[in-house]
Amino acid sequence: MDLSGRFVRFAEKECKGSSPLYEKWSKEVAKDRQLLDLASNAGEGQPVPNLFFGAVQYLLLKEKEDGILGADFKRFKEFCIENKSEISRLLKTKRVQTNEIRRCAYLYPVFCSIFQQTAKPLSLIEIGTSAGLQLHWDRYSYEYGDGYTYGKADSSVRIRSEFKGKPVLLPESPPVVSRVGVDLYVNDVRKEEDRMWLKALIWPEHEERRVLFEEAARVMKKDPVQLIEGDGVSLLPELAEKTERDSTLVVFHTHVANQMPVNVKEQLEKNIHLISGWRDVFHVYNNMWDGLLHVDSIIDGIEEKNTIGRTEGHGQWFEWNL
């Protein structure tokens, strides 16, 4: 698909019904040669429309707090041309690494289910962690429309979602003994540039996502976790070796594996099997071989694969088919 077609697809498949402003901008950019040439500076393998609009919003955030330019496409184009060199630099150096806090809504019952099964505290390794905000899932509270609050009830990060099925929801978060995040390019929310870039990736109309991000960033600043810059797939066996043996090892990643080449996905699965040679391991993931959420395990050498179901990209709802 050519670049123009990618913007059209972004408008129709991702923005429609979710971001009227990006839907409008995408359709206009798809017809504008100057802006398409500018957007072509994006790094290889990146979702160009997301990255392009993120770069624009980042510059706007530096000028004013709300980061919203408005629906006037003429003004949007003028802003892009006026800031052409800076937008080009951002496209070449930045990456789309959205930390979607609300995805923890479906991770919470997964981790509850694993803890219920093993009765051991969890050791967490997240691949493609970005800023590591999902590693603090046990420090957030959860509401699913059933009148109850789960997790850390007094948390400032209050996540609301819906589900179909009967997920495992423990009243309080399972215990966690260690948490490590790995990414080729780590974002540190303690640095203003990184915090602003992650905020710029949130779509303009999604105020609740912005609030959740800011609150989760505050939690991270108070209680930072270990974030390692590197190849999470190749580092996995080494990191697993360092985790506490009397704990349940959980390797997880969300909306990351779709960016991995097939040979890297296959190596990840090989490394999971390698780790199972000296300890039990759970593997939680989506967007790897399909768009569904999965939890696989190898316990006492016996492998089990389970498909949980579909999840909405921003965590607004999920299915639980176990």
The per-residue pLDDT for range 66-112, each reduced to its tens digit, is 555 677 899 999 999 999 999 999 999 999 887 899 999 999 999 99
CA dist., res. 308 & res. 322, Å (int): 6
- Quote the pTM value: 0.90
30 pLDDT higher than 70: yes
pLDDT value, residue 314: 86
pLDDT value, residue 64: 72
pLDDT value, residue 69: 64
133 pLDDT higher than 90: yes
- Report, as an integer, the average pLDDT of 137-154: 97
pLDDT value, residue 68: 59
Of the pLDDT bands very low, low, confident and very high (cuts 50, 70, 90), residue 258 is: confident
Residue of 256 and 271 predicted with greater confidence: 271
- Report, as an integer, the average pLDDT of 16-36: 95
65 pLDDT higher than 60: no
Of 31-35, 126-130, 258-262, give the lowest mean pLDDT range: 258-262
Torsion of CA 2, 26, 81, 60, to 10 degrees: -130
Of 42-51, 108-117, 170-179, give the lowest mean pLDDT range: 42-51
Q: CA 183, 188, 192, 197 torsion: positive or negative?
A: positive
Using alpha carbons, list the distances in angstroms from residue 310 to 80, 229, 313, 318. 37, 30, 9, 6
Mean pLDDT of the chain, nearest integer = 94
pLDDT value, residue 88: 97
pLDDT above 70 covers a percentage of the chain that reads: 98
pLDDT one-digit tens code per residue, 175-225: 999 999 999 999 999 999 999 999 999 999 999 999 999 999 999 999 999
- Tell me which residue of 264, 258, 248 sits closest to 286, measured CA to CA: 258
- Report, as an integer, the average pLDDT of 109-121: 98
Which ranges constitute the DSSP H helices of the chain? 3-9, 20-29, 33-39, 48-63, 73-82, 84-93, 104-118, 192-200, 207-222, 232-241, 262-275
